[in-house]
Amino acid sequence: MKQGNQPPTVLAIHASGCSHRSWSALAPLVHGDLVAPNLYGYGQSSPWPPAPHRPPTMADLTAIVGAAAGASPPPTHLVGHSMGAGVALAAVAQLPNLPISSIAVFEPNLFCLLTLGLDHDKEMWAVALQFFTRMLEVAGRGEWDEWGDTFHRFWFGGRWSDLDPGVREKLVSTTVPQTVHEIEALVKTMEDGEDYARTLLNGLASKQVDKRVVLGSSKECGSAGPSMALANLLHREAGFQQVLRAPEGGHMGPLTHPQQVLPLLLNS
């Protein structure tokens, strides 16, 4: 993922509930510059802009990627994790002049693309939509423990009640309210239908750069089916390399198992 002898700038987009600090273990592996912007509401970034006239959109988030890439010296290798991976995919698809030389994403959540797949893919699209819809429903009622349980079972598996109460409280407090807005943006991509999804997929397919999707080692959580379906779709329809599965680490593998996961995202 280099051009000539010039090491690439790595532009890394973090997951929900995290910030640019989640990429601290990536810095020693990067030979060029590491640029890691915060999404809305994380770190020292601005909160989501108030927009009562419309729901949050994926374009709100891809604008952050476009601005960061435009301010970075090319060539740029784009990395994303979970929500950041979904945003990275959408940015490549929707910003045709995005100056990148390669992209690698870990467990992306841009499940709207599954409407363009096989029957099984569309079934997995319904599973993902049910999850996102449920998340918004319980958030709307302020039932944060149920919110955490729904989130945990989908992405991690196991029982939310088994976690230490302090851990549960931290997980809820660090992913609300920003995550609610992010889920609203994701639901809108799924409600926009096949035409929108086709635009995204065509944009990804037309980008002639190295493209890689990596999945965590866990196959027991609720997201396992949709994540594998999306990864396979990206391979079949958008020119991504054969799907890689990390040897260790689940959905939060880039943080919990950086030695096993991060080299896969750098092709090293």
**Which domains, ranges and CATH numbers included, belong to the chain?**
9-121+178-266 (3.40.50.1820)
DSSP secondary structure letters along 93-140: HH-TT---SEEEEES---GGGGGGS-HHHHHHHHHHHHHHHHHHHHHH
| Residue 58 pLDDT | 95
Chain segment 56-72, per-residue pLDDT in tens: 899 999 999 999 999 88
Phi and psi at residue 3, to the nearest 5°:
-115, 115
Chain segment 196-253, per-residue pLDDT in tens: 999 999 999 999 999 999 999 988 899 999 999 999 999 999 999 999 999 999 999 9
The region that residue 43 occupies, defined by phi over 0 for left and psi between -120 and 50 for alpha, beta otherwise, is left
Chain segment 162-203, per-residue pLDDT in tens: 889 988 888 887 777 678 899 999 999 999 999 999 999 999
76-81 and 34-35: which strand pairing? unpaired
The chain-wide mean pLDDT, for the chain, equals 92
52 has pLDDT over 70: no
Joined together, the tokens standing for residue 257 give 């198992």
Joined together, the tokens standing for residue 182 give 């992010």
CB 245, CB 216: distance < 8 Å? yes
